[in-house]
């Protein structure tokens, strides 16, 4: 048992005992900033600067086109996928780092619908499933992509939105083709029980597609143990891959032979340099690729993954829960009397690595926090979102962030009329 934290000195004592504390030096964060937005854009690994310099100056500048072979550019989506795989319970040859989360979701959904309409099990059942079940509170692009795909297929597919997890069992009816869920909700930080929901989907004859945007590098994930069907996620959030870094897609071995999607570009071809007019998909995860990747950006993903190899997700999770517990407890104690509402579950099993509080002037309070160096973000409606990245956030950071929040609230030191930027 660790002693309860009551003072800043207690936080410093916890930091002194923290096995992850040393990893903070592997990131370059500006002085005077407490960065609680790693759930949206992870901080920069120190190594990313020299890696970018090397890719641009040597691999591109000097070695030019030879680098597709000599620098391993062509194999990078699969090589990085193998390095990412242990963080999500995936096997080797099952993950590719490529494209965006939106695009990868499109590919996974298309492949899942294809399996449902043409697979042997569908033929045996003789049914014709046309519904993608997801949550209204899902990150909008996930819903948009599912609706866009459904519309374009023009075969009666539809997206069914549920308003709570309790509605999922009933929504998994005879028409349900796919259950598409985001494991940790971007707004509330609520974490689904992946194994149970995947089991429910399978019992109902549906496939389970998971979005790990707020899970990869944030919470332990075991896709194989959960028997999930497909998964996608971002590398620029908790994995610290850099702004716009390519996303990932997981296709387990058992679905690879049947993985058929409409974005059949030449990078997914069995012999791309044969330049054949007919498409023939390569065996394995390579068929999830489409076209030429943004190599400079892709290369930087490795710098974030390397840092995770210095620890493990059990240690990251233990500290994440300690930090979020501390933040919740301190806000409730130090900022009592202010109209703050905890949105994130208190129950550990249901919590991701973020804490969200509502405040009637959430946008203005967040703007004031950012002006004072505490960087979180704001999500409609009224939600102040604080992401906790155990690799570079200390217990003392949590204390200091809450003290600044308390000061802003006690003194009403925020501008309710503040103009909003294009990106919140
Ligand atoms: C952040 C996030 C995305 C982002 O998708 P992009 O294609 O990278 O813009 C998608 N889904 C979820 C659930 C997210 O949290």
Residue 372 appears among annotated catalytic residues: no
| Radius of gyration of the chain from its Cα atoms, rounded to whole angstroms | 22
Q: 86: which residues sit within 8 A by CB, 6+ positions away?
A: none
Q: Is 139 a catalytic residue?
A: yes
Among this protein's residues, is 238 annotated catalytic? no
Written as six digits, the tokens of 281 are: 């998909």
Q: Using CA atoms, how far apart are residues 69 and 73, in angstroms rounded to an integer?
A: 6
How is residue 122 written in tokens? 């569908």
- Give the residue carrying structure tokens 């900022």: 335
Q: Which atom of ligand 1 is nearest to the CA of 234?
A: 8
User: Cα(222) to centroid of ligand 1, in Å?
Assistant: 20
Do 344 and 190 touch, CB atoms closer than 8 A?
A: yes
Catalytic residue among 18, 37, 82, 211: 211
**pLDDT of the chain, 424 residues: tens digit per residue:** 567 778 999 999 999 999 999 999 999 999 999 999 999 999 999 999 999 999 999 999 999 999 999 999 999 999 999 999 999 999 999 999 999 999 999 999 999 999 999 865 665 666 789 999 999 999 999 999 999 999 999 999 999 999 999 999 999 999 999 999 999 999 999 999 999 999 999 999 999 999 999 999 999 999 999 999 999 999 999 999 999 999 999 999 999 999 999 999 999 999 999 999 999 999 999 999 999 999 999 999 999 999 999 999 999 999 999 999 999 999 999 999 999 999 999 999 999 999 999 999 999 999 999 999 999 999 999 999 999 999 999 999 999 999 999 999 999 999 998 778 888 7
Q: Are 320 and 219 in contact (CB under 8 A)?
A: yes
Decide if domain 8-45+312-411 falls under CATH 3.90.1150.10. Answer: yes
Per the structure block, which two tokens stand in for 249?
């897609």
* pLDDT value for 126: 64
Q: Using DSSP bridges, classify how beta strands 34-35 and 374-375 pair: parallel, antiparallel or unpaired.
A: parallel
Give the ligand 1 atom nearest the CA of 214: 15
Tell me, yes or no, if the pTM score tops 0.85: yes
Pocket of ligand 1 (CB under 6 A): 100-102, 139, 141-142, 182, 186, 211, 213-214, 234, 247
Which residues make beta-bridge pairs with 132?
159, 178
Q: Report d(CA 201, CA 44) in Å as an integer.
A: 38
* Cβ atoms 92, 85 nearer than 8 A: yes
Ligand 1 centroid to 213 CA: how many Å?
6
Say how far residue 126 (Cα) sits from the centre of its chain.
36
Whether 414 is catalytic: no
| Residue 121, pLDDT score | 61
Q: What is the model's pLDDT at position 115?
A: 96
> 74-309 has which fold?
3.40.640
Residue 117: predicted pLDDT: 93
Cα pseudo-dihedral 364, 369, 373, 374, rounded to 10: -130
| Domain definitions of the chain by residue range | 8-45+312-411, 74-309
Point out the annotated binding site for pyridoxal 5'-phosphate.
101-102, 139-142, 182, 211, 214, 236, 266, 292
């Amino acid at each position: 048992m660790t002693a309860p934290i009551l003072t800043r000195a207690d936080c410093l004592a916890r930091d002194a005992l923290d096995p992850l504390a040393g990893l903070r030096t592997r990131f370059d964060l500006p002085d005077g900033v407490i960065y609680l937005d790693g759930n949206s854009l992870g901080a920069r690994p120190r190594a990313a600067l020299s890696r970018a310099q090397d890719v641009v100056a040597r691999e591109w500048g000097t070695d030019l086109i030879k680098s597709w072979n000599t620098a391993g550019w062509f194999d990078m989506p699969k090589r990085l996928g193998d390095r990412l795989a242990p963080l999500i319970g995936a096997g080797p040859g099952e993950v590719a780092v490529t494209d965006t989360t939106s695009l990868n979701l499109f590919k996974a959904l298309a492949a899942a619908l294809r399996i449902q309409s043409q697979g042997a099990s569908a033929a045996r059942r003789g049914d014709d499933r046309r519904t993608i079940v997801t949550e209204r509170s899902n990150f909008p692009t996930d819903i948009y992509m599912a609706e866009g795909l459904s519309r374009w297929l023009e075969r009666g597919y539809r997206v069914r939105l549920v308003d709570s997890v309790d509605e999922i069992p009933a929504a998994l009816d005879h028409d349900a083709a796919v259950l598409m869920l985001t494991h940790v909700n971007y707004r509330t930080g609520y974490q689904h029980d992946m194994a149970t929901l995947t089991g429910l989907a399978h019992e109902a004859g549906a496939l389970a597609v998971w979005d790990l945007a707020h899970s990869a590098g944030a919470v332990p994930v075991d896709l194989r143990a959960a028997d999930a069907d497909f998964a996608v996620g971002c590398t620029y959030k908790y994995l610290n891959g850099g702004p716009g870094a390519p996303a990932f897609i997981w296709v387990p071995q058992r679905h690879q032979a049947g993985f058929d999607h409409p974005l059949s570009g030449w990078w997914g071809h069995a012999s791309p340099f044969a330049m054949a007019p007919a498409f023939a998909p390569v065996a394995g995860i390579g068929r999830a690729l489409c076209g030429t990747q943004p190599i400079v950006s892709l290369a930087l993903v490795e710098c974030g993954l390397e840092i995770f190899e210095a620890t493990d997700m059990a240690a990251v999770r233990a500290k994440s829960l300690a930090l979020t517990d501390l933040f919740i407890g301190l806000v409730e104690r130090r900022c009592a009397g202010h109209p703050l509402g905890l949105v994130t579950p208190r129950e550990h099993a249901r919590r991701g690595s973020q804490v969200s509080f509502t405040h009637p002037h959430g946008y203005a309070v967040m703007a004031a926090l950012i002006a004072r160096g505490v960087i979180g973000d704001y999500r409609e409606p009224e939600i102040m979102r604080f992401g906790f990245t155990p690799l570079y956030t200390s217990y003392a950071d949590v204390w200091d962030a809450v003290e600044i929040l308390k000061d802003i609230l006690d003194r009403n030191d925020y501008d309710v009329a503040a103009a909003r930027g294009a990106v919140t």
